[in-house]
Amino acid sequence: MSLVERFQTQDERALARAISLVERGGEEGQRLLRSLRTSGGHARIIGITGSPGSGKSTLTDQLIGVAREQGRRVAVIAVDPTSPYSGGAILGDRIRMMRWHKDPDVYIRSMATRGHLGGLASGTLQVLALLDAYGFDYIFIETVGVGQSEVDIVRVADTTLLVLTPGQGDGVQAFKAGIMEIADVFAINKYDLPGGPRLKREIQAALELSHPEGDDWWPIIQETIAAKGEYSKELFAALTKHYAYLEETGKLESKRLERIRFEISSLLTEQVRLALEAKEDDFIEAVLQGEISPLEAARQLLS
Ligand SMILES: Nc1nc2c(ncn2[C@@H]2O[C@H](COP(=O)(O)OP(=O)(O)O)[C@@H](O)[C@H]2O)c(=O)[nH]1
Ligand SMILES: [Mg+2]
């Protein structure tokens, strides 16, 4: 049986092989992505973002639990920006979701984002496409809410879940940083700590100010205590409600198109960066010598 056939019969080893082929970036991986694009592909893609330590991994673990109770198959991509400090974070994610290790219907993968300032690397998107084609019902993508990643996640996910916690001025910060708009659903996690109701009111007030006119989705604000497994069902229901909204309004299709658009543009950025790295010195020298302008250099690189 070919790799594609084994993949389509949902052979776990074929999935692992496919992922490593795609990550290697060679022609074989690309051929695979091409032939798989039209198969499967019904996953609900949920982006989970928020500050480090807000409880994203603990919440994800809970959401996996609810999805499994419903007999759904789940994949998780935990994205972590590579930094000297984040080595432990990925390990933490693994530990928080460890109980699913033996469940063949749960697939968890940690990925670093080399030098992308927390943005989603193109490799991540290709792995996402594979997981979708493989036939998972839910794909959760956990990204640390710093820099580019929360902007990127909106373009990739069907539903974006923003995790905030009380007592750290999170509401005000989110408002200032302009990330209120990215959330389809808010989780106020650590609701066992003081300040939960206040944060909820702050978010509500901020939404009233910032909610775009003509947007008929009003974000759901759900309190959670992930560490105790409380309100996970309610949170899952909120995510389901948003998905139903996307389906009813036909917005799901535009999400799909946006995802492909984003995938192409991030691959393009990466290709340009690689091309530039290879020839950088020559071009810089040529610009310096007045032989070509920077725009001409850019055009030459592109062609
Ligand atoms: N008090 C409290 N602590 C929590 C809650 N949820 C998660 N935590 C703790 O917060 C810490 C960070 O959680 P983690 O899921 O790794 O956060 P992440 O960095 O956003 O993925 C861990 O020690 C969790 O046990 C909660 O609802 N209440
Ligand atoms: Mg985490």
Segment 29-65, tens digit of pLDDT: 888 888 887 766 799 999 999 888 899 999 999 999 9
Answer with the residue of higher pLDDT: 58 or 177: 58
Ligand 1 touching residue 234 (CB < 6 A): no
The string of pLDDT tens digits covering residues 133-174 is: 999 999 999 987 665 666 788 889 999 999 999 977 766 676
Ligand nearest to C-alpha 58 = 1
Q: What's the CA angle centered on 263, arms 258 and 265, to 5 degrees?
A: 95
Q: Can you identify the CATH homologous superfamily of domain 40-249?
A: P-loop containing nucleotide triphosphate hydrolases (3.40.50.300)
Whether pLDDT at 220 is above 90 = yes
Q: Which of 160, 162, 211, 217 is nearest to 186 (CA)?
A: 162
Report the b/e string of 68-104 with b at 16+ CB within 10 A.
beeebbbbbbbbbbbeeebeebbebbeebbeebeeee
* pTM recorded for the entire structure: 0.89
Answer with the residue of higher pLDDT: 269 or 117: 269
Answer with the residue of higher pLDDT: 151 or 103: 103
Q: Of ligand 1's atoms, which has the minimum distance to the CA of residue 142? A: 21
Question: Nearest C-alpha to atom 7 of ligand 1 is from which residue?
Answer: 55
Ligand 1 touching residue 52 (CB < 6 A): yes
Give the mean model confidence (pLDDT) for residues 292-302. 88
Distances (CA, A) of 225 to 55, 63, 189, 198: 9, 12, 6, 16
Give the mean model confidence (pLDDT) for residues 227-242. 97
pLDDT band at 1 (very low <50, low <70, confident <90, very high): confident
d(CA 51, CA 47): 14
DSSP at 225: B
Answer with the residue of higher pLDDT: 138 or 208: 138
Q: Which of 48, 54, 56, 58 to mutate to test the pocket of ligand 1 (most atoms within 8 A of CB)?
A: 58
Dmax of the chain from CA atoms?
66
Ligand 1 centroid to Cα of residue 225, in Å, is 9
Whether pLDDT at 90 is above 60 = no
Give the mean model confidence (pLDDT) for residues 68-93. 72
For residue 147, the model assigns a pLDDT of: 59
Q: What's the CA angle centered on 39, arms 33 and 45, to 5 degrees?
A: 80
Ion ligand 2 contact residues with beta carbon within 5 A: 56-57, 93
CB 141 within 8 A of CB 46: yes
| Domain chopping of the chain, boundaries | 1-37, 40-249, 265-302
Query: What percent of the chain is modeled with pLDDT above 90?
Result: 45
CA gyration radius, the chain: 21
**Token pair 């500050």: residue:** 51
Ramachandran angles phi, psi of 239, nearest 5°: -65, -40
CB 68 within 8 A of CB 103: yes
Ligand 1 centroid to Cα of residue 58, in Å, is 6
Q: Average pLDDT over the chain, rounded to whole?
A: 85
Across 115-158, where does the E strand assignment appear?
138-144
Ligand 1 touching residue 53 (CB < 6 A): yes
